[in-house]
């Protein structure tokens, strides 16, 4: 039962992004704004996520895990309900910001809860089980969203559904979640305590290297998320339902990648699993670049997108485990650093997304390949694989 609570908490952040993707063109039409404005709303989500990560992680280290996570679920439910009556694109963007903040807070606290209970290979296994539950969200959420819009041809049915789901998760968590951070293990409150925890985390060179890898991966991932609604529907001519099926196919590969990465991380050294995934992403980017100049259809595009998503998924649990295993007393802060830097990167990269272009896969391919080549450089020169300590056994 407990692993379901953690899985649902991790799921919230994914739902914030993926449920809205099939509706992006409809939202632009509804508010009578260019497509770029809707893309900026995704940047608002990532900016909100950065703040959510930054606040929730250290807060949970000093206050415990349960109260902050329930507060975050309350904010998520409120913002989702308010989106149903959003009067304009400005209000829409602000409320999406709040959704991003709340989704990030639930995710970072869920990671900290797992670190409270497990370490090393045991943590890898539990993360993979939690992602086994939450990983269904990017697979089914676009399909659910597209079919909801068929039943009620209005994008606002999506935030209404999220509000109902948020309320249900709130009730489930309030009844099932137990406090995993004992009062004796809580860190000092106030600015000084938070600052000391962040300083301790940033002194860890390996964690900093993993954070940098996550940042450049984020550029590739959010380029993909911003481009594909318009690439698939406007350029390749898919309907919202067809788009949701194509997106869910690649999301399923991301889900498989998470499980494969966790399994390989327990069989081999986790950092070499990360390296192999980065190489796979570079190859996917090169493939997307090459087909960009060809007259190809969705059948040629989806396998390369899937290859990229598999590679991304493979890195999730190894990176989280390696980053958190040496920071049990400040697990929330360490998890928040991973999330904050990824979210800030996604938000600051917002001006890049319209420049990539959604008519072909050329720009996306270049972005993915270059980002992951940079990540490989960080792997060898910052993380330094020979210096990564062995993980604790189960």
Residue 392 has pLDDT above 70, yes or no: no
CA-to-CA distance for 180 and 165, rounded, in angstroms? 24
pLDDT of residue 358: 78
Q: Which domains does the chain carry? A: 2-387 (1.20.1250.20)
The four Cα atoms 339, 342, 343, 345 give a dihedral, to 10 degrees, of 160
Residue 76 has pLDDT above 70, yes or no: yes
How many other β-carbons are positioned within 10 Å of the β-carbon of residue 34? 11
- Mean pLDDT, to the nearest integer, of 111-130? 85
343 closest CA partner among 138, 51, 98: 51
pLDDT of residue 78: 97
- Mean pLDDT, to the nearest integer, of 245-258? 87
Q: Which of 63-67, 325-329, 349-353 has the highest mean pLDDT?
A: 63-67
Buried b / exposed e along 253-284 (16+ C-beta atoms within 10 A): bbbbbbbbbbbbbbeebbbebbbebbebbbbb
pLDDT of residue 127: 84
Q: 52: pLDDT confidence band, cut at 50, 70 and 90?
A: very high
Where helices occur in the chain by DSSP H, the ranges are: 2-18, 24-31, 35-63, 66-83, 89-117, 120-134, 137-151, 157-176, 190-202, 205-230, 240-267, 270-291, 298-324, 331-348, 352-356, 362-378
Q: 234: pLDDT confidence band, cut at 50, 70 and 90?
A: confident
Token code pair at residue 112? 């900290």
Tens digits of residue pLDDT in 128-172 = 888 888 878 877 887 788 788 877 778 899 999 999 999 999 999
CA-to-CA distance for 220 and 366, rounded, in angstroms? 9
165 closest CA partner among 12, 315, 393, 279: 12
Give yes or no for a contact between 198 and 337, defined as CB atoms under 8 angstroms apart.
yes
Rounded to two decimals, what is the model's pTM?
0.77
- Mean pLDDT, to the nearest integer, of 331-360? 83
Residues 6+ apart with CB under 8 A from 53: 104, 105, 107, 108, 335, 336, 337, 338, 339, 340, 343
How many other β-carbons are positioned within 10 Å of the β-carbon of residue 350? 18
DSSP for 155-197, written as a single string: TTHHHHHHHHHHHHHHHHHHHH----S-GGGPPPPHHHHHHHH
Average pLDDT, the chain: 87
* Angle between helical axes of 240-267 and 298-324 (0-180°, round to 10): 40
pLDDT of residue 187: 65
Token code pair at residue 349? 């990269």
Residue 336 has pLDDT above 90, yes or no: no
**Number of Cα atoms under 13 Å in the Cβ half of residue 23:** 28
Residue 35 has pLDDT above 80, yes or no: no
- Read off the DSSP letter of residue 65: S
Q: 122: pLDDT confidence band, cut at 50, 70 and 90?
A: confident
- Backbone angles phi and psi of 295, in degrees to 5: -90, 80
């Amino acid at each position: 039962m407990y692993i379901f609570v953690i899985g649902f908490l991790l799921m919230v952040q994914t739902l914030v992004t993926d449920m809205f993707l099939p509706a992006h063109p409809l939202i632009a039409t509804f508010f009578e704004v260019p497509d770029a404005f809707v893309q900026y709303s995704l940047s608002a989500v990532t900016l909100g996520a950065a703040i959510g990560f930054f606040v929730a992680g250290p807060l949970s280290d000093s206050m415990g895990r349960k109260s902050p996570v329930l507060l975050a679920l309350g904010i998520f439910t409120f913002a989702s309900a308010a989106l149903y009556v959003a009067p304009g694109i400005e209000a829409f963007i602000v409320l999406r910001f709040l959704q991003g903040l709340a989704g990030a807070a639930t995710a970072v606290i869920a990671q900290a809860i797992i670190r409270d209970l497990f370490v090393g290979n045991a943590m890898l296994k539990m993360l993979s089980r939690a992602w086994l539950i939450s990983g269904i969200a990017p697979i089914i959420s676009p399909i659910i969203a597209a079919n909801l819009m068929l039943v009620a041809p209005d994008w606002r049915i999506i935030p209404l559904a999220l509000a109902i789901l948020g309320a249900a998760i709130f009730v489930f968590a309030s009844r099932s979640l137990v406090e995993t951070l004992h009062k004796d293990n809580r860190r000092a409150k106030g600015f000084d305590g938070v600052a000391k925890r962040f300083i301790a985390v940033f002194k860890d060179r390996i964690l900093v290297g993993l954070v940098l890898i996550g940042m450049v991966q984020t550029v590739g991932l959010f380029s993909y998320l911003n481009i594909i609604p318009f690439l698939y529907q406007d350029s390749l001519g898919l309907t919202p339902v067809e788009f949701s099926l194509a997106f869910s196919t690649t999301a399923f590969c991301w889900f498989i990648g998470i499980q494969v990465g966790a399994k390989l991380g327990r069989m081999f050294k986790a950092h070499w699993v990360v390296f192999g995934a980065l190489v796979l992403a570079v190859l996917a980017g090169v493939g997307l670049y090459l087909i960009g100049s060809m007259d190809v259809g969705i059948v040629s595009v989806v396998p390369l997108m899937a290859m990229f998503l598999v590679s991304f998924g493979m890195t999730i649990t190894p990176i989280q485990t390696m980053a958190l295993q040496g920071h049990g007393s400040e697990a929330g802060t360490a998890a928040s650093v991973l999330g904050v830097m990824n979210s800030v990167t996604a938000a600051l990269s917002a001006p890049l997304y319209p420049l990539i272009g959604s008519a072909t896969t050329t720009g996306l391919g270049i972005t993915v390949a270059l980002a992951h080549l940079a990540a490989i450089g960080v792997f060898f020169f910052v993380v330094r694989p020979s210096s990564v300590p062995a993980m604790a056994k189960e």
